[in-house]
Structure 1
Amino acid sequence: MEVPKFLIILLLAATIASSEARLSSLRQGSSLKVEEESDFLVSPNGTFSSGFYKVDTNASCYSIWFTNSVNKTVVWMANRDKPVSRRVSKLTLHRNGNLVLTDGVGSIVWSTNTFPDAGVEAQLLETGNLVLINQEKMIIWQSFDSPTDTLLPSQRLVKNTTLVSVRSQGTYLSGFYNFRFYDNNVLYLIYSGPLFSSVYFPKQDKTVFDFKRTPYNSSKVAILDEAGQFISSDDFMFNASDYGIGPKRRLTMDYDGILRLYSLDESTGLWEMSWLPDGVDACLVHGLCGAYGICTYKPQPTCSCPYGFSLNDSSDGSKGCSPLFNLSNDATKSDFMVLPNTDYYGYDMETYASGISFRACRNACLTDSRCKGFGYALDGKGQCFLSKDEVITKLETYDLNCSAAQVSLKTGDLEVEKSNKNRYMVYLVGFVSSFAIIEAICIGLTWWYAFRKHAHEEFVNMGDIALAMGFKRFTYAELKRATNGFKQEVGKGGFGTVYKGVLDERVVAVKRLDGILQGDAEFWAEVSVIGNINHRNLVKLWGFCADNKHKLLVYEYLENGSLDKILFTSDGELGLEQRYNIALGTAKGLSYLHEECLEWVLHCDVKPQNILLDDHLEPKVADFGMSKLFKDIHGIRDIDGMGFSKVWGTRGYMAPEWMMNLKIDAKADVYSYGIVLLELLSGKSASILISALAKEYIECNQLARCVTEKIRKEGLEEVIDPRLLPESDNKKLERLMKVGLLCAQDDRSARPAMSKVVELLLEKDE
């Protein structure tokens, strides 16, 4: 029977499409693009796939995953701590043999740093190893040499490689738990927090020999084989419960600090645990419940707080607890809270003592200004452990391991299971203020004052957490002193007045916000988003103040001020190259806000007054994120998480869709940027320029149309700032004008994205 020709053609087309979606290799000069969801590499038998993996609404990481597992279990990521935009980003194997990952604006995020001869191609092997192979079929780079949180069969763990957990369940940022060889040639599970590191497996109350390990083999190599057996040079060995050739397996350092071996049930795509370390219960993992948290079994490990403390994040116990009162070192007022069968591991002072009484241990803590609490073991040995002052004063960055009743102390075997007498207590000297408040109430303080005190101290703790996130919470009194009573005004706008000040020995710009209706907690939450945005072309937020009605922001100070103060003055000296760099830097900053932030931000008020210049005339966009802070007073609504619905911005720079009551998106910022670009070229403000042109062209009521008409009839030089013409770089002038007119079009669908604007500005002249 003859097959119809049209059917053959359809089958052939389907085969070609399939082969394009399942690339076997990436050759020099080729790219994998983030927008093409079917654009990825596949291992020979299809076990593994490699491509862009979505980690957030608008962010991706280049990854390797098990093709047939539920939710595509990721085993490796190139850029898990620097996700790229889901627009324009790509992985390219350059002709020089370097495999490079670039973001939406063309910046290099990750690369293999390989520069071999021609004939290189990238392949994903059936083992899950992404490799670069040269013409001699030699591997010149492989992903197996830089694991993330997973070890695959045949992948070696050596002295320079580490398995690092993810930060939390559902995220892919690097966490604090490691599996690696330590300096003594032994494999350990290690908690590596921001300020301290500690081993929690094997337990440190015994020698490595007690665990049948050896520190004498310095080769430092371990491997998981195809049958599910793990063998290490330090004699650490284990087998999968389903030992034997067949199942697909992975050894993963999980987010909760426990190393687990998994086997894949290919019929369901689900993973089954086939091994975990003996003696590592969840509550024994250091840092699991964060600062001051207590881990208990209910029956699953659960994080809670001591009385008088509250969870920093009710959905994530690892962020720890915070006191709702002041902690004091005043020995005359101190008292203690008893926490039976609990150990805050990792912060003992050097003053360990044994054979002393409970009272002597307590007094030792009271008389040492560094001590904030103590542990005492009721095992007959009189062991006393004093806790460091830093545990309290830097609680926002310390993660204390909090253990359940069956945990042992660092020295001696005190496990509850062995004896009902083996119980110990940790006493925190932190409840000075709580008793002080009680005393104060007894002598006449009102309940109203107590409530105010409680609320204030709770927010002080929020400020401490903000400091750990990279910016700081200041009091109103601090900012008033820093600005000398808000005397030196350096700017004023729709959001408030800006003052110059000196804070922590650096010059700052302090913005007093007018009309904020948000409460302190909501304001802090919104500010935290802005404070975590960091780009060279965005003004950096250093801190904030939220003292009831006083809402202020603290920014880096830029001596040259805003663009309008230089551009629109007769003595302003901005050459073509400087204006071009300002245009490019501003575009990069807006592109970052629109496409690269993990939480997209619309500026909604792009204008020269909000473009600040540093000492080198490098532009930095200011006032981004204000729409989040002022949405209550201005009545702005967020529609489907995509934009705003009511008027916002400055006349002359506002896109037509604002006036038409249409939904606002990033293209509104593009329009405003286009107006700024036309101002850069003309040297005149938008209002003055359109007023002058409207006298010549009566039909002209929109700046881009006015400028276009002027250029069409009289030439480009009639629009350009006369101060630029002597430089006579017509190609650069034409490119800037082209981009400006393109951005300032009435039809928003015709405006380019800011990432495209960056590309257009960076195009080479032919």
Structure 2
Amino acid sequence: MGFSLIALSSAVVLIFIFSGALFPFFVFSGPLSTHSIRPPFIASYFLFIDQSGTFLVSPNGTFKASISGTKAQTSPSRYYFSITHVASDAIVWSANRNASMSNSDKLSLSVDGLRVANEAGKLLWSTPPLNSEIAAMQLLETGNLLLVDARNITLWESFENPTDSIVVGQRLRVGKSLESALSEQDQSVGDYRLLMTDGDLLLQWKRMTYFKLSMHEKAFKNSYGEVSFLAINDTGLYLLESDGSTAVIQVPLSGPSGFRIGKLGSEGRFVISSFIGDDWVTELFGPVDDCHIPFFCGKIGLCTRRPLSGTCSCPSGFRVQANGECIPTDTSLSLPSDCKSNANRNGSDQFNSSVSYLQLAYGMDYFANDFNGPMEHSVDLSACQDICSQNCSCLAIFHENASESCYLLEKHLGSIILNPRPENDNRGYIKVLVHSSPENPTGNNNNNQKHNFPIAALVLLPPSGFFLLITIVAVAILWLRKNRLSKTKNNAESGRCNSSSSAEQEMIDIPGLPRRFNHEELADATENFKTQIGSGGFGAVYKGTLSDKSVVAVKKITSLGVQGKKDFCTEIAIIGNVHHVNLVRLKGFCVHGRQRFLVLEYMNRGSLDRPLFGNGPVLEWQERVEIALGTARGLAYLHSGCEDRIIHCDVKPENILLHDNLHVKISDFGLSKLLSPEQSGLFTTMRGTRGYLAPEWLTNSAISDKSDVYSYGMVLLEIVRGRKNSSFQTLSHSRENSSSGGNGLSSSSSGSGARPIYFPLLALEMHEKRRYAELADQRLEGRVTSQEVEKLVRIALCCLHEEPALRPAMANVVSMLEGGLPLGEPRVESLNFLRFYGRRFTEISRLEGSSEQNQNGFGLINPTSNTSGLYNSLTCISSQQISGPR
């Protein structure tokens, strides 16, 4: 009996082997538990209908390969060969995106490749030619589909051929892209793509960039190396160099762990989300603003920003037609379609139409203007329109009045953005065709129309008259062009900076300048500079109200160096193009003779020093943390996020401005180059403010963005304490007992127990004793924990390291504040110079006394009194005094 069973089993095996040889396309319709399939193999949805089209699963069942269908309301079901995350039912990769299958079309695996074909044998999709024969198709636990040879060498993989999604473990290499689908039902490639370049991650619509990863408020640039690939892991999204560990740009993700996927949606937004339990949690998306999605409102649709979304309408002069698109209200006008229909200027339609332009209202902008430079510089509006009229692919223009820059919108038109800000000096014009009629043979002549000469009249002229007319027309055209060129030249020579000095009128055009104001506008806005709201090393700041009722801050720069208009405008062009939520926006500028003015957005709560050091309501701890984080984000963007790296050189509370809800913005960034070497008393002979200067300023060492990091560390300590770092303060008995010795405190100071405190040294000593709670602002009265204080103090001390290389980059400071990176450990050997600073502060305080300090309502040193020597003492220490013999 046993022998019979063995024989029967052998016979069954032989039958299967024999059937496989005779019928190479024999398939199994039962459940498959393997993650590997060998060729030959055929699958279709119909053959595996009991398993919902599934024929391959990953080892732990996390992913499945299947032929699955999507059903649209008005069309038959579409079937795709896809890789799906089982728990969430999210498709992470699709094969035949542009050629959907029916339920009986087949996927076949042979030794030559993987292919999808319909019932008639027409090829719908296939892998490219491979280097060797396929031995197996495998689905890994990461969701990667592999074709391998007999030696298990990968011949092809889905991770290297992405569709619209990327998952943890996958790399999007430079030159690769994600392509959006048309819709959830139709996986055909749409108009949006996420392109990986060697410098940034770009979102594009019809190959036009509208968003960069570096623009996201949570993105930080850590390196200036070339990007090799994008990767997502449990901590964030990273653009990494070829070594796989150096992050050029990173975006921390602090959401809960789970299946994480990045997907480019059909609407044009890149979203990273995690599947937690049975729900999706969105962790990151960009662009955040609906109106920054190029086709959010359709062709020429006007997108108006709202708190949670954007609303769509048509611009003035346009109406909505049945398909939802905006078309000219005037029925004699139409939008040009494309070059094919407009290239033949002698076509019959052109006999009865001419080119004109419909003007958009002020405050309207277009996404491409921020990413594509102007086509022409120093051209007036009429010349800009001429350029567009002669280009069949041009559909609209934007003309910037201040710089006379001409932007062409070619091939495709997206949505218009309502951007009613004073700095938006662009004016848009939509190109239209004016159709003539028997009652109006010359067409509509409004809106800067370019007239067509009645060609029929030429046919009736005799040859001599014809040539005479041609000569007259040619002479007229030459005269008009000469006159226009002369006008353009005069406009250019008059200066982009409203120059009143003839010596400065040779300045060439500088692209990217913000709005230009004339002196009369600023005098009217400020009521002849009546209300001064601030002052500093750069000059006085006045409150003003522009003609559009927007409130601004007008900074009159009085310490400008010996610098020509071109240099000034070059710096302003750079500053004006730096945009970040934590940086004060430069709205415009003015040059009036030798005077320079900057027009900035108004921050109604003033600078940080007022609530931090003043007698008003005390800043709560969480408010201080948010201020510290916003400041760090702004500095990180200046150092690594914008195109031109900017070192602030004067980070201090007076340059950190607050708006409603304590919205934080850094001011005066990038202006250090505009200062003369001779500064006011608040500035050193170099750059920066006493008390915040990094040691390298005093030792003639190289200045870098790490100098800003040092200044930020000093500001962070003042945020913790609520007082200036060098000041007098009455200490509690317990704190007095714990703070004796060479720590910058003097028991001989006068005035009811007031002691001179050099707080950075006190912070270092309390850190060594792990006694952080004593460092917090006494006015908080215990409303902060020791752990919360420790976090800010340790970060601040790391920023104060004497060696710049040991200080963290501002991007890493942000990550530490947000919790994305562990806290750094201050290196005491690189902070010993603070002990010299503290002793010097104590020595000077003994000599100069403290009577004037005690008269100060806040216990602060008055910089205008004799006690300013206490500040000076900390900026006149030699390199040997700082760190000993070298």
**TM-score normalised to structure 1 length:** 0.50
- 2:533 counterpart SS class: strand
Cα contact 2:336–2:433 (8 A) shared by 1: no
Distance 2:642 2:615 in 1: 38
Partner residue of 1:677? 716
Instruction: Tell me the amino acid that sits aligned with residue 802 of structure 2.
Output: D
Which residue does 2:46 correspond to in 1?
Answer: none
Q: Please name the residue that 1:539 is paired with.
A: 584
Range moving further from structure 2, 490-499 or 656-665:
656-665
Match of 1:379? 455
The Cα of 1:500 is off from its aligned counterpart by 0.7
Selected match of 1:495 from 520, 526, 538: 538
Matched, 1:555 2:600: yes
Give the Cα–Cα distance (whole angstroms) in 1 for the partners of residues 587 and 453 of structure 2: 45
Aligned to 2:777, what secondary structure does the other structure show?
coil
The whole-number CA distance in structure 2 between the counterparts of 1:455 and 1:468 is 15
Q: How far 1:505 sits from its partner (Å)?
A: 0.3
Q: Give the C-alpha shift of residue 551 in structure 1.
A: 1.1
The aligned counterpart of 1:232 is: none
Residue in 2 that maps onto 1:741: 797
Residues 658 and 60 (structure 1), Cα distance of their counterparts in 2 relative to 1, 3 Å cut = farther
1:95 deviates by 8.1
Q: Which amino acid aligns with 1:529?
A: I
Once the two structures are superposed, what CA deviation does each residue of 1:298-335 show, in whole Å capped at 9, x if it has no partner? xxx9xxxxxxx99967xx99799xxxxxxxxxxxxxxx
Does 1:657 find its partner at 2:713? no
Q: What is residue 587 of structure 1 aligned with on the other side?
A: 632
Change (3 A) 1:755 1:122: closer
Residue 204 and residue 530 in structure 1: after superposition, are their counterparts in 2 closer, same or farther (change >3 A)?
same
Give 1:476's aligned residue.
Answer: 519
* 2:776 is the alignment partner of 1:720: yes
Residues 415-442 of structure 1, C-alpha deviations (whole Å, 9 max, x = no match): xxxxx9799789899989979x99xxxx
1:87 aligns with 2:222: yes
SS of match in other structure, 1:377: coil
Distance 1:107 1:424 in 2: 65
The question of 1:668 aligning with 2:707 is answered: yes
Aligned to 1:272: none
Q: What is the distance in 2 between the residues matched to 1:473 and 1:619?
A: 26
* Aligned residue identity for 2:494: H
Distance in 1 (alpha carbons) for counterparts of 2:740 and 2:693 = 23
- 1:733 is paired with a residue whose SS is helix
8 A Cα contact 1:567 1:574, kept in partner? yes
Deviations 1:647-689 (A, max 9, x none): 2111111111111112211111111110000000111112227
Preserved CA contact (<8 Å) 1:533 1:597: yes
CA distance in 1, matches of 2:296, 2:793: 56
Q: In the alignment, which of 544, 549, 559 is matched to residue 505 of structure 1?
A: 549
Aligned counterpart in structure 1 of residue 806 of structure 2, from 720, 731, 750: 750
Amino acid at match of 1:203: S
Name the CA distance, whole Å, in 2 between partners of 1:482 and 1:593.
30
* Aligned equivalent of 1:577, options 609, 622, 640: 622
Q: Are the aligned partners of 1:29 and 1:95 in contact in 2 as well (CA < 8 Å)?
A: no
2:641 matched to 1:596?
yes
Counterpart amino acid of residue 481 in structure 1: D
Task: Indicate conservation of the 8 Å contact 2:168/2:260, yes or no.
Answer: no
Residues 499-541 of structure 1 show CA distances to partners (whole Å, capped at 9, x for unaligned) of: 0111120211110011434333432332122122221211111
Higher deviation after alignment, 517-526 or 465-474: 465-474
Supply the RMSD in Å over aligned alpha carbons. 6.7
Q: How far off is 1:697 after superposition?
A: 4.8
Letter in 2 for 1:741: L
Q: Secondary structure at the match of 1:740?
A: helix
Deviation at 1:558, TM superposition (A): 1.3
Find the partner of 1:526 among 563, 567, 571: 571
1:427-438 maps to which residues of 2 (within 5 A)?
Answer: none
Shift of the alpha carbon at 1:709?
Answer: 1.6
1:373 and 1:426 in contact (8 A); partners too: no
Which residue of 2 is the match for residue 393 of structure 1? none
Q: How many angstroms apart in 1 are the aligned matches of 2:436 and 2:557?
A: 49
Q: Post-superposition shift, 1:40?
A: 11
> Which residue number corresponds to residue 613 of structure 1?
658
Deviation at 1:488, TM superposition (A): 0.7
Provide the aligned length of Structure 1 versus Structure 2.
497
Distance (whole Å) between structure 1 residues aligned to residue 479 and residue 449 of structure 2:
7
Task: Using the TM superposition, give the Cα deviation of residue 485 of structure 1 relative to its aligned residue in structure 2, in angstroms.
Answer: 0.9
- 1:432 and 1:728, CA in 2 relative to 1: closer, same or farther beyond 3 A? same
Structure 1 residues 121 and 33 mapped into 2: Cα distance closer, same or farther (>3 Å)? closer
Cα drift, residue 598 of structure 1: 1.8
Task: Measure the CA separation in 1 of the matches of 2:766 and 2:605.
Answer: 33
User: Which residue identity does 1:549 align to in structure 2?
Assistant: R
| From 730, 737, 752, the counterpart of 2:786 | 730
What's 1:202 paired with?
Answer: 340
Paired AA for residue 552 in structure 2: V
Give the letter aligned to residue 451 of structure 2. G
Following superposition, the deviation at residue 475 of structure 1 comes to 0.6
* Contact in 2 for aligned 1:355/1:382 (Cα 8 Å): no
Call closer, same or farther: CA 1:202–1:600 in 2, change over 3 Å: same
Distance 1:468 1:351 in 2: 39
Instruction: Give per-residue Cα distances to partners, 1:707-748, cap 9 Å, x unaligned.
Output: 212443593233221122421322221111111111112121
Structure 2 alignment gaps of length 5 or more = 1-150, 179-192, 240-246, 265-269, 273-294, 300-320, 324-333, 350-371, 375-380, 394-400, 411-428, 460-468, 500-504, 745-756, 824-886
Shift of 1:587: 0.7
2:340 partner letter: P
Cα distance in 2, alignment partners of residues 659 and 515 from structure 1: 22
Larger Rg: 2
Instruction: Give the Å deviation of 1:627.
Output: 2.1
**How far apart, in 2, do the equivalents of 1:698 and 1:131 lie?**
55
Q: What amino acid is the match of 2:786?
A: N
1:456 counterpart = 2:494: yes
Helix, strand or coil at the partner of 2:779: coil
Contact 1:531 1:540 in 2 (8 A): yes
CA contact (8 A) 2:514 2:588 kept: yes
Q: Distance in 1 between matches of 2:338 and 2:790?
A: 64
Contiguous gaps of at least 5 residues in structure 1:
1-14, 42-49, 64-73, 109-114, 125-129, 133-157, 163-182, 186-195, 212-254, 258-286, 302-308, 321-343, 384-419, 439-450, 637-644
Distance across 1 between alignment mates of 2:176 and 2:699: 39
The verdict on how the C-alpha distance between 1:732 and 1:31 changes in structure 2, with shifts beyond 3 A counting, is farther
Q: How much does 1:107 deviate?
A: 6.8
Aligned runs of 1:145-164 on 2, under 5 Å? none
Q: Is the 8 A contact 2:167 2:261 kept in 1?
A: no
Code of the aligned partner of 2:521: E
Q: Structure 2 CA distance, aligned partners of 1:598 and 1:16?
A: 45
For 1:256 and 1:653, how far apart are their aligned partners in 2?
38
1:35-59 C-alpha deviation (Å, 9 max, x unpaired): x989999xxxxxxxx9985465xx4
- CA distance in structure 1 between the aligned counterparts of 2:457 and 2:439, rounded to whole angstroms: 6
| Corresponding residue for residue 761 of structure 1 | 817
Q: Where do residues 345-424 of structure 1 align in structure 2 (5 Å cutoff)?
A: 346=431, 374-377=450-453, 379-381=455-457
2:612 corresponds to 1:567: yes
Q: Cα–Cα, structure 1 residues 131 and 732, in superposed 2: closer, same or farther, change >3 Å?
A: closer
Equivalent residues of 1:105, 1:591 under 8 A apart: no
TM-superposed CA distance for 1:184, in Å, is 12
Higher relative contact order (CA 8 A, sep 6+): 1
Secondary structure at the residue paired with 2:337?
strand
Contact 1:563–1:613 under 8 Å retained in 2: yes
Name the counterpart of 1:106.
251
Map 1:222-371 onto structure 2 (within 5 A).
290-293=384-387, 346=431
Alignment of 1:123-162 (within 5 A): none
What residue number does 1:168 align with?
none
Q: Does the 8 Å contact 1:373/1:429 carry over to 2?
A: no
Distance 1:52 1:478 in 2: 44
Local SS of the residue matching 1:727: coil
